[in-house]
Structures are given as structure tokens and as C-alpha cells.
Chain A
Amino acid sequence: MREMLQAATRINLDKVSVLIVDDSAPSLDLLAQVVSGFGVKTLQRADSAREAQLHLRDKAFDLIISATNMAGVDGYELVKWLRRGALEANRYAPVILVSGHTPPSQVFKARDAGANFTVAKPITPKVLLERILWAAKEERQFIECDSYLGPDRRFKNEGPPIGVEGRRRDDLRGDLSDLAGDNMSQEQINGLMRPSKVKL
């Protein structure tokens, strides 16, 4: 469980460089005002993913906040590109995607693109600041394989899916966790654990 925003938490965003991307001008204005209100002094706006790509090739950012639904290249494609095609300095930058419509399929899509978090619109300062803090305290490692580069998508450490051999060094091998035999019945367990009188 990630921690909730505390009123007394001290944050310093003065030197944080932020890129915000949205092809909806009113939404971009709202994002810019909120982020500026948080104290961000270095803020770059982009009104399309294409424009964002130009900035991401050219300059290092500490945080990227992008809309998902955009004409042409959308936010998901932008994140996928960012993780492999942007400046080396930007590839691991935290990304928060903002979306007006967030059915599970879209949230999974954001996760699988390599975004750190998804925030549902309408943007509220409290939720956005909380996610920025989460991104700053991100403890997940990065995963890189042929099909994915981004924060570890396993929020819970439950190992690889059942029946699939883990591909990571720290995944337990199947033969370590194989059952030594059938489960014992409750009666058998009771027989082992419960003291009983014995007649001699």
C-alpha cells in the first residue's frame, strides 16, 4: 500500500524539470497551472506527442506527465518510444499518464507501455501531487526484455504466473517449490499436533 499524501510533507520541486503533453489546450492549461502551483519552475509544454518527442530528444526531464488520448501518436506510444528512443537521460524518467476514460483495458495498456502511474481526469491537485510523490519514491526496479522496458509491472511479489518458468534471476525455480506429497488432512495434522492420552 502506497502512503497517502500528508499535509505536512515537505516537497521541493523548484529544480525539477517537467514536460507536460496534451493535445487538448484547456487540459494542458490546467496541468500547467497545477504543476506551477506545486512550485515547478522549469516547465515545458507540448501540444502533441510529436512535439514532446522533439523535446525528449533534446533535453533531460525529471518527470513527464502526458495525456493518453491524443490524435496521431498517443500517450501510450509516446511512453513506449520514450523508454527506448529518447535521450538516455530521459529513458528512465517517471511517467504519469492522465486519461479521461480509464477502463481496465486502458490502465493495463498504460502499464504495459512502461508508465509509472495513471491518473484519471479531471485532474485534481491532490491526486496529482500524491502521484508525483509516489513517482519520487518509486521502489520498483526497471525491467528490460524484448517486449518491454519500464518499471516492474509486478506490484506484488508473487513470482511468475502458474505454469510459466520465471525468467528472472530472483524468480524461484519450480523444483524448489514442488510439493513433497499430497496435502495432509486436518485429521492427520491434528494427530501430529494434538497431545492425547496414551494407556501404557
Chain B
Amino acid sequence: MSVVRKFRAPNRLSMLIKASGGKMAKDALAAADLALEPLRAPSLAVLDAALAEIEGRFGKAAAATRGGETYQELYALALRIIDVSGFLPGSCVDQAAISFCALVDNCAEADVWRWDAIDVHVNALRLLRASGLTPDQRRAVIDGLNKVSQRRIDDA
């Protein structure tokens, strides 16, 4: 059995953050929001490009070739959507992409593509990104996606 050492580690952050000056948390948050604003348009462009790439490589239109793609590539594209989806608060696009990641994880684990479920996620992402759904309708879409992505291969 290994020996365990327990000790108080130095925490410079703790000392520096308490120094006089600085700003109030609400001002820091407002400044961060302001600093993010210039990234809004480029981030949404990244999101749309990732969605287009998913459709182009993993959507129905690519039915003949998509079997040759990798789980990692699709997972990375879904993550890219999550990265920048903070600019669409309330849209549930982030939650749809998280469900997509869970689905791809599930596929990778079983080493079986579930194209029906992938098509549903791609369509849902498009819907959530583009349309004027109500919050309840968006919630219903996410509930449905979560059921689809959490369904195991052996249940399908």
C-alpha cells in the first residue's frame, strides 16, 4: 500500500485576487460580455460552417460515402458547435449538440453507425438554429433527442 502525503499547497491566485483595487464581479461580467461581442458574428459563422460540414459529410446527402467517415471527426464537429453556441442562448442548439456527442460516443463504443439517429440530430440542429420555435417546443425537441441518443445499440 502506497504512502499518502496530505499538505496545504501554495495558492498564489488566492493571494493575488484579494489585492486592493480590481473590480466588482458584476463589472467584470459586464466587461467580459462586452469583450465577447466582437466574436459573435465569427462564432455564428463557425457554427454554421460546422453544421454544413456535418450535413455534407454525415447527412443523408452523403449516404453513399458517410460509412467511411470516423466517429472522432463527427464528435469533433459536434464539439465545435458547442464551443460557440453560447451566442444562441435559449435556442437549445448547445443541448442538441451535446446529445449528438452522446450519440456518437454510443456509436463509437458499439462500433456501429446509427444513421437514423444521426439524421434526426442533424435535422433538429437545423430546426433549432433557424426557426422561431417557442421555448416549450425547443424543450420537446431536446427531450426527443436525448431519448434517441441515450438509446443503446442493443435496444435499437
Contacts and interface: CB of A to CB of B under 8 A. Distances in A.
Contacts of A126: 29
B4 A136 contact: no
A13 B22 contact: yes
Interface stretch (A32-40, A48-56, A174-182, A183-191): A32-40
A27 B83 contact: yes
Contacts of B141: none
A101 B19 contact: no
A39 B28 contact: yes
Nearest to B5: A144
Interface in B1-42: 1-14, 16-26, 28-29, 31-36, 38-39, 42
Interface stretch (B51-59, B60-68, B94-102, B121-129): B94-102
Interface string A94-126: 100000110100000000000000000111111
A142 B13 contact: no
A92 B13 CA distance: 11
A174 to B, nearest CB: 15
A149 B38 CA distance: 40
Contacts of B22: 10-14, 39
B85 A122 contact: yes
B2 A30 contact: no
A173 to B, nearest CB: 14
Nearest to A124: B86
A12 B16 contact: yes
A168 B4 CA distance: 6
B13 A26 contact: no
B14 A143 contact: no
A7 B19 contact: no
Contact of A138 (B11, B24, B101): B11
Contact of A11 (B23, B80, B82, B85): B23
B117 interface: no
B35 A11 contact: no
Interface of A: 5-16, 24, 26-27, 29-30, 33-39, 60, 62-63, 69, 91-94, 100-101, 103, 121-126, 129, 132-133, 135-138, 141-147, 152, 165, 167-170
> Sorted from nearest, which 3 A-B pairs have the closest CB atoms?
A12-B22, A37-B32, A122-B86
11 contacts: A15-B19, A24-B83, A26-B43, A34-B32, A37-B28, A62-B13, A121-B79, A122-B83, A125-B28, A146-B2, A167-B1
